[in-house]
């Protein structure tokens, strides 16, 4: 076949792979209607492809297979003597080979591109697989040894030959118990987690790609369609073609539908493997279905619980926790699955050790979250009605039971109704917390539920558990009302009242139950919530006191419970303390506290790399450190920035729609912009601020009622405007006026938020700088007068805050700077 015709065959072959199998024949008939021979060449290529599992589809196992189509098995490849063919896919062949030299013998598997298949697509996939294997040095993954090119120019690579049995067969032959299967499966999760930490998604996890050696060691094989991840990934992935190469039974909904692939796709595949490992069946039967039907089944149908699908002997063992673990891994929405393979493994370990698992039945809450996405405007009224009915029913049941002197029965009903309210309050709220646009619904649901919890708690039969629920409700609504780390509606005065009530209840519970560790931990968390709101109100000294109280409680707990949760909570308290100290102008103390927090969080991240909560906290704490470092610590600032951005981008790969992580990433970019601004590096400052701006524009547009999102957008506009204004760049004033419009609006709506007022003062000063700097001589006088007016407005804001005792040391110093600028401009104007 001449080269030109071969290129045409390859192009048509790729086009056909992009189509559903039943569409390929008609398509080829149409495009090859004048060349039946061309059509035949493409169909033969498709037939060869169909016999395998795709490029390099034959894993490095001891399966016998046919010889290479159209040729003989080669005697040697490079330094290796070929023993036999192991298997082949549509585009690649795997051989068993041996390198036999004096004092050295090794049996290996060699993958080589089949003759005539050296297309750009195949060579890219081959290169990617070799690159991936070279990066994965792990005992649970088949290793790469060598690579090269055959005499006729086809690339190959040499890897570890795994002589073993596929996972399911190995377990069945040895009649492993459920706990034994779970322990073996956890080791598979370890290998997958290692790949993910090296930015590799396997994309074709299934039992035949997991071999168990005679020694009982699981090995992960076949990275032929694996993907190297990148935080800015999105092109050059040949996703449409690869969708045809995967195994549909183990493919996630997003793979089937051709959507963005992340590590969550592998978590789903692990869920399918675990389902079959425990129940003996797969969650869906896809054999004989068309691609459209497969899309509907995998994308929409709820799988049967593993315990219901399992044989009678294991139904009881699977019922409950293991059902929930498997179904969480199989959630349709990637954000609802386990964030990592390590967390799936951790939940299995909790089950094996007799502890409660984190996977809970939450499908109702999930459906509610999906409903809110579609009907944000109507959801508020619907929940108001529902909660009113629940509250009215609570009162009616209570009065009726008391009237009939059936207090015991009434108490039971009251407890049930409390449970219903807390389910709506906690499960529903948490399911929508990170959805863009959910802030008004969150506020409404929490406020209405809180009203009824308060009524129930005043009843004669109120219990300590009800008081605990009430305190938790106050804390949650305070976070929605105001704060510094979460989306909120901008009601700082209301947040102060709510969090004070929560702290008061928590303190009373600790006094009543001094030995209750959970109450002491809950009080520490309430104190940290209080510190957040106090920071918004610019009450820095009170925030420091609250953070100190939390730290003292958590130090005691960390000493008695040296586990990662104790260390994590203590590190969080030190982060809040660091922010409060920095706000008060006590920078050296703040940096000491922040570095102590980073030390604890880094230790957890190193020992438990799958712990997303610690990685997220670590990134946020590094961001705060960057914001407060002196310019002399530029090396630490840039290293902290690199680490924080890397952590947050990795978290977003697993949870791409999580608004909270996006908000934190924008904070990191903003803090780096502020540091570069102080260094005097205009270009890098604008670049970092611009990155923050893009994320914040997206978040603000998605959730316009979210005061925090709008105010953070104003910060980004302010950052760029100030740096450009200081450099005399055109357009600076436009950025600053956009920020001013937002800040003035929310200052009117939330006058108790002193932080917003502080921002307003600095914004006036930045407008003064932009007006004064780089003014042409023709308009220098009016521009100087304009700058003086802005500086005077800024000074007045800071003087007012100083008189109220709401300014830290750094802010007080700003007053002197402004007075100096005003005096300087007065001198210039007097000389004109």
Three-state secondary structure readout of 480-519: HHCCCCCCCCCCHHHHHHHHHHHHHHHHHHHHHCCCCHHH
CA atoms within 13 A on the CB side of 101: 5
The rounded distance, in Å, linking the Cα atoms of 722 and 811 is 17
Between CA 574 and CA 704 the distance in angstroms is: 32
Instruction: Quote the DSSP letter at residue 68.
Output: P
Categorize the per-residue pLDDT at 677 as very low, low, confident or very high, splitting at 50, 70 and 90.
Answer: very high
Contact between 209 and 87 (Cβ < 8 Å): no
> In which element (H, E) is residue 269 found?
helix 263-279
Residue 155 three-state SS: strand
What is the structure's pLDDT at 320?
86
* Residue 114, phi then psi, degrees to nearest 5: -70, 150
Once rounded to an integer, what is the mean pLDDT over residues 188-216? 82
Which residues, including other chains, have CB under 8 Å from residue 6's CB and lie 6 or more apart?
116
At residue 22, the pLDDT reads 65
- Enter the DSSP assignment of 335: G
Q: What is the pLDDT of residue 595?
A: 95
State the Cα–Cα distance between residues 747 and 87, nearest whole angstrom: 70
Residue 335 has pLDDT above 50, yes or no: yes
Q: Name the residue with tokens 């959801």.
A: 379
Closest C-alpha among 442, 446, 440, 398 to residue 422: 446
Does residue 552 surpass a pLDDT of 70? yes
Q: Which helix (H) or strand (E) holds 787?
A: helix 780-803
Residue 309, pLDDT > 80, answer yes
Beta strands in 204-248 (DSSP E): 210-212, 218-220, 227-228
Q: Is the pLDDT of residue 364 over 50?
A: no
Q: Which residue has the tokens 């060699």?
A: 110
Burial label for 601, CB within 10 Å (0-12, 13-18, 19+), is buried
- Under 8 Å between Cβ of 157 and 146: yes
Neighbours of 541 (CB within 10 A): 13
271-281: average pLDDT? 93
Cα 553–Cα 558–Cα 563 angle in degrees, nearest 5: 145
Q: Residue 321, by phi and psi: left (phi above 0), alpha (psi -120 to 50) or beta?
A: alpha
Question: How many angstroms separate the CA atoms of 594 and 133, rounded?
Answer: 39
Highest mean pLDDT among 294-303, 485-494, 645-654, 690-699: 690-699
Q: Are strands 210-212 and 227-228 parallel, antiparallel or unpaired?
A: unpaired
Supply angle C-alpha 304, 306, 312, rounded to 5: 115
Q: Using H for helix, E for strand and C for coil, what is the string for 351-392?
A: HHCCCCCCCCCCHHHHHHHHHHHHCHHHHHHHHHHHHHHHHH
Question: Taking a C-beta distance cutoff of 8 angstroms, is the pair 349, 357 a contact?
Answer: no
**pLDDT tops 50 at residue 64:** no
Structure tokens at 113: 């591109």
| Mean of the per-residue pLDDT values of the chain | 77
When pLDDT is averaged across residues 294-318 and rounded to a whole number, the result is 86
β partners of residue 166: 211
Place of tokens 């069945």: 172
Residues in the chain: 832
Residue 405 corresponds to which tokens in the numbers above? Answer: 């002197």
Helix 659-679, helix 707-726: angle, nearest 10: 20
Other residues' Cβ atoms within 10 Å of the Cβ of residue 58: 24
User: Which residue matches tokens 């960390």?
Assistant: 558
What span, in angstroms and rounded, lies between the C-alpha atoms of 15 and 439? 45
Determine the angle formed by the axes of helices 517-536 and 540-560, rounding to 10 degrees. Answer: 160
In the three-class reduction of DSSP (H, G, I as helix; E, B as strand; rest coil), residue 111 is classed as: strand
Segment 240-275, tens digit of pLDDT: 334 444 567 788 888 887 777 778 889 999 999 999
What confidence score (pLDDT) does residue 705 get? 74
Give the model's pLDDT for residue 226.
44
Cα Dmax for the chain: 98
* Ramachandran bin of 222, using left for φ above 0, alpha for ψ from -120 to 50, beta for the remaining angles: left
Q: Once rounded to an integer, what is the mean pLDDT over residues 435-453?
A: 60
Task: Decide if pLDDT at 437 tops 70.
Answer: no
Q: Cα dihedral angle (583, 589, 594, 600), rounded to 10 degrees?
A: -150
419 band by pLDDT with thresholds 50, 70 and 90: low
Distance CA 446, CA 427 (A): 11
Binned at pLDDT 50, 70 and 90, residue 445 comes out as low
Which tokens is 661 given? 């992580």
Q: Which of 259, 255, 239, 243 is nearest to 656 (CA)?
A: 259
pLDDT at 15: 65
| CB burial of residue 235 (10 Å; 0-12, 13-18, 19+) | exposed
- The DSSP secondary-structure symbol of 232 reads T
Residue-wise pLDDT for 747-800, tens only, equals 888 888 888 899 999 999 999 999 988 777 777 888 899 999 999 999 999 999
Are 48 and 84 within 8 A, CB to CB?
no
- 716-725 mean pLDDT: 95
What is the model's pLDDT at position 240?
Answer: 39
Task: Quote the pLDDT of residue 77.
Answer: 82
Please report the sign of the dihedral spanned by the C-alpha atoms of residue 240, residue 241, residue 242, residue 248. Answer: positive
Those residues with Cβ within 8 angstroms of residue 545's Cβ, 6 or more apart along the chain or in another chain = none
Give the whole-angstrom CA distance, residue 627 versus residue 629.
6
Kindly give the residue spans of alpha helices, DSSP state H, lying in 227-262.
Answer: 239-243, 253-256
Structure confidence at residue 271 (pLDDT): 94
Q: Please give the Cα distance from 276 to 206 (Å, whole number).
A: 10
Q: What is the mean pLDDT of residues 119-144?
A: 66
For range 802-824, the mean pLDDT: 85
**Of 644, 551, 645, 646, residue with least CA distance to 598:** 644
For 396, 422, 445, 617, the CA distances from 410, given in Å and listed in that order, are 10, 18, 25, 44
pLDDT of residue 746: 85
Q: Give the pLDDT mean for 487-492.
A: 67
pLDDT mean over 151-155 = 76
**pTM, two decimal places:** 0.51
CA distance 675 to 669: 10
Q: Tell me how far CA of residue 422 lies from CA of 298, 465, 497, 823, in angstroms.
A: 32, 11, 21, 60
Report whether pLDDT(716) > 90.
yes
User: What is the Cα Rg of the chain in Å?
Assistant: 32
Q: Which of 80-94, 495-509, 608-622 has the lowest mean pLDDT?
A: 80-94
Q: Which stretch of 420-434, 643-657, 679-693 has the lowest confidence by average pLDDT?
A: 420-434
- Greater confidence, 18 or 641? 641
């Amino acid at each position: 076949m001449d080269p030109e015709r071969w290129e045409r065959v390859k192009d048509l072959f790729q086009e056909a792979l992009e189509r559903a199998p039943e569409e390929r024949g008609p398509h080829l008939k149409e495009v090859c209607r004048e060349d039946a021979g061309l059509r035949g060449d493409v169909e033969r290529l498709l037939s060869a492809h169909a016999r395998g599992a795709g490029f390099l589809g034959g894993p490095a196992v001891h399966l016998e297979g046919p010889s290479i189509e159209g040729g003989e098995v080669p005697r040697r490849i490079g330094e290796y003597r070929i023993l036999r063919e192991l298997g082949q896919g549509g585009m690649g062949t795997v051989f068993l080979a041996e390198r036999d030299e004096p004092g050295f013998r090794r049996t290996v598997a060699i993958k080589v591109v089949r003759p005539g298949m050296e297309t750009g697509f195949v060579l890219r996939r081959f290169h990617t697989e070799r690159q991936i294997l070279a990066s994965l040095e792990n005992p649970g993954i088949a290793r790469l040894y060598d690579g090269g090119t055959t005499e006729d120019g086809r690339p190959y690579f040499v890897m570890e030959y795994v002589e073993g049995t596929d996972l399911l067969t190995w377990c069945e032959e040895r009649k492993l118990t459920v706990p034994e299967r779970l322990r073996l499966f956890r080791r598979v999760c370890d290998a997958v987690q290692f790949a993910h930490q090296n930015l590799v998604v396997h994309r074709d996890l299934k039992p035949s790609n997991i071999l168990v050696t005679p020694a009982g060691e699981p090995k992960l094989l076949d990275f032929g369609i694996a993907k190297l991840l990148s935080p800015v990934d999105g092109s050059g992935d040949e996703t449409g073609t690869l969708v045809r190469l995967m195994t549909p039974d183990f493919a996630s909904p997003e793979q089937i539908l051709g959507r963005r692939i992340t590590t969550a796709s592998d978590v789903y595949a692990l869920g399918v493997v675990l389902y079959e490992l425990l129940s003996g069946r797969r969650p869906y039967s896809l054999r004989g279905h068309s691609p459209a039907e497969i899309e509907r089944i995998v994308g929409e149908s709820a799988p049967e619980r593993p315990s219901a699908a399992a044989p009678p002997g294991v139904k009881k063992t699977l019922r409950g926790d293991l059902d929930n673990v498997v179904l969480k891994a199989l959630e349709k929405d990637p954000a609802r699955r386990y964030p990592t393979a390590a967390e799936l493994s951790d939940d299995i370990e909790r089950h094996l050790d007799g502890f409660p698992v984190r996977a809970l039945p939450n499908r109702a809450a999930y459906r509610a979250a999906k409903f809110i996405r579609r009907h944000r405007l109507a959801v508020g009224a619907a929940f108001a009605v529902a909660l009113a009915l629940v509250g009215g029913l609570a009162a009616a049941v209570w009065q009726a039971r008391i009237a009939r002197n059936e207090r015991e029965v009434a108490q039971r009903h009251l407890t049930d109704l409390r449970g219903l309210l807390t389910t709506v309050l906690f499960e529903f709220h948490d399911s929508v917390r990170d959805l863009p646009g959910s802030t008004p619904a969150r506020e409404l649901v929490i406020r209405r539920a809180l009203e009824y919890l308060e009524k129930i708690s005043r009843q004669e039969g109120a219990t300590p558990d009800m008081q605990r629920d009430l305190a938790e409700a106050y804390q949650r609504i305070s976070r929605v009302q105001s704060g510094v780390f979460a989306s909120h509606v901008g009601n700082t005065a209301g947040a102060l009242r709510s969090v004070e009530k929560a702290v008061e209840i928590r303190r009373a519970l600790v006094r009543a139950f001094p030995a209750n560790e959970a109450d002491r931990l809950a009080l520490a968390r309430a104190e940290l919530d209080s510190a957040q709101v106090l920071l918004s109100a610019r009450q820095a000294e009170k925030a420091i006191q609250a953070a100190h109280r939390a730290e003292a409680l958590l130090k005691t707990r960390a000493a008695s419970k040296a586990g990662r949760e104790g260390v994590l909570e203590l590190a969080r308290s030190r982060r809040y303390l660091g922010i409060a100290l920095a706000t008060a102008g006590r920078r050296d103390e703040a940096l000491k506290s922040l570095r102590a927090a980073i030390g604890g969080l880094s230790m957890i991240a190193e020992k438990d790399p799958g712990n997303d909560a610690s990685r997220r906290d670590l990134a946020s704490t590094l961001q705060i450190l960057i914001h407060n470092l002196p310019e002399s610590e530029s090396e630490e600032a840039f290293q902290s920035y690199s680490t924080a951005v890397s952590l947050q981008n990795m978290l977003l790969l697993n949870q791409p729609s999580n608004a909270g992580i996006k908000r934190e990433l924008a904070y990191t970019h903003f803090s780096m912009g502020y540091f570069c601004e102080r260094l005097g590096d205009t270009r890098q400052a604008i670049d970092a601020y611009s990155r923050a701006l893009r994320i914040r524009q997206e978040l603000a547009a998605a959730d316009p009622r979210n005061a925090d999102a709008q105010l953070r957008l104003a910060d980004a506009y302010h950052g760029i405007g100030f740096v450009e204004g200081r450099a005399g760049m055109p357009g600076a004033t436009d950025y600053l006026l956009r920020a001013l419009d937002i800040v003035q609006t929310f200052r009117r709506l939330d006058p108790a938020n002193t932080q917003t007022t502080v921002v307003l003062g600095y914004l006036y000063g930045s407008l003064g700088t932009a007006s004064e700097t780089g003014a042409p001589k023709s308009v220098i006088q009016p521009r100087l007068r304009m700058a003086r007016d802005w500086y005077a407005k800024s000074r007045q804001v800071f003087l007012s805050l100083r008189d109220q005792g709401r300014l830290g040391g750094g802010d007080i110093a700003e007053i002197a700077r402004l007075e100096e600028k005003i005096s300087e401009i007065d001198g210039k104007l007097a000389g004109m």
